[in-house]
Amino acid sequence: MLRDLIYFDFEKGASLYSQIEGGLLTEKREGEEQAKDQRNIRKYDLKVFRPEFGGQSTDKTSQLEVRVLHHDLLGRLEDYLEDKGLLTELHGGGATSADPDSVRESLSESPYVRAEGWSVIEDYEKLSAISGQFNDLIAFIGRCGASSIESTPEYQALAEQLEAARRNAADQKNRNQRKVAERRLAKAEAELKKKIEEASGLGGVEEWLLSGVRLFIDVFMRDRILLRVYPDEGRPELQVLANLKRACFVDGDAETYLHSYGYRPNVKLTVLGLVTSLPLQEGHSFDPMAEFEAKADELTDQESFEQGFRRVFEGFDGMYRFVRYSRYPNLTVQPLAVYRSVRGASA
């Protein structure tokens, strides 16, 4: 089976492999030695005996091939995780055929996940950039649509009728009759403009909403690229979430991936990573602020000061919880790799 490797956190992978091997191997050297014998033979005339005296030296040259462990490192890590029982497979008909609690029980013993399925990618930096120009883009697209409408025979006929009505209003000698004709003309023009806007999709979003989207992204989601993998299309509520580092895309640019696969790929992808968030249905049972509640009115000034600041962080955590999307039965992983498996007919 071949892999189209899209994303690989080489530094994280190298760190794991160094723990396995007891040291970091950065290069693999392969080569062969070629030996060449050179005889240094001199003949001496010693009367009766004519022996050969001399020496023999061997020069060895090595031809070395240096290969950086990159794609090969992923295969070694996967093999190790499988051999040690640390890897949980998530795909339709596999572990996901069980209920979410059974999946979580499996992950407690095998915390690394390899999930294959349909996927969606959410680039929040791109969303922020688009929101800044959204109304201009909509206006341009709408104007293109309006231009197409204006070239139709139906529109041309209406435009001619309006022009005739405009000339008729201008020709009216009676001031009252001219005002009535002008009001009818203005109403007809407004109705025609409205029909064009509706047909072409003209109209945008209120600026306060777009500004709020950009503010939220800038504070909580800057540079975030979120990958959602759905390992079982029969259970769309079960998703594997992975926040991808822009620097770890194999081609060096997330845009290359987005242009190749799109924001909603129509081929299945695989993500490999360590589970970092496994939310329970009933929520977290541990309350880190319980130490203050137990003392109630007996807090010292120092403890009250600490409690105040930690309450602020607790409030921020409540807001951040919204943008992490870590909710039951989702799983969040720290991704090592994202790839597409390329299988032949016999695979």
The residue count for the chain: 347
Neighbours of 268 (CB within 10 A): 17
- Please tell me which of 195-199, 284-288, 324-328 the model is most confident about, judged by mean pLDDT: 324-328
- 328 Cβ neighbours under 8 A, 6+ residues apart: 100, 279, 280, 281
First-to-last C-alpha distance (Å) of the chain = 7
User: What's the whole-model pTM score?
Assistant: 0.68
pLDDT at residue number 268: 94
CA dist., res. 119 & res. 264, Å (int) = 6
Confidence of residue 264 (pLDDT cuts 50, 70, 90): very high
Q: How confident is the model at residue 64 (pLDDT cuts 50, 70, 90)?
A: very low
3 state DSSP class of 286: coil
- Span 295-315, mean pLDDT? 82
Is 209 or 47 the better-scoring residue by pLDDT? 209
Query: Stretch 318-343: mean pLDDT, rounded?
Result: 88
Are the beta carbons of 7 and 335 closer than 8 angstroms? yes
Q: Left (φ > 0), alpha (ψ -120 to 50) or beta: where does 204 sit?
A: beta
Q: pLDDT tens digit string along 213-248?
A: 888 888 888 889 999 999 988 888 889 999 999 999
Distance, in Å, from the CA atom of 268 to the CA atom of 339, rounded to the nearest integer, reads 9
More confident residue, 255 or 187: 255
Q: Are 233 and 264 in contact (CB under 8 A)?
A: no
pLDDT at 339 exceeding the cut of 70? yes
> Strands, DSSP E only, in the chain?
2-8, 27-43, 52-68, 87-90, 112-123, 225-230, 240-244, 269-277, 331-342
Q: State the pLDDT confidence band at 172, using cuts at 50, 70 and 90.
A: confident
Q: What's the pLDDT score for residue 48?
A: 44
Question: pLDDT per residue over 117-167, tens digit each?
Answer: 999 999 988 888 877 776 777 677 666 666 666 667 766 667 777 777 777
Residue 244 has what pLDDT? Answer: 94
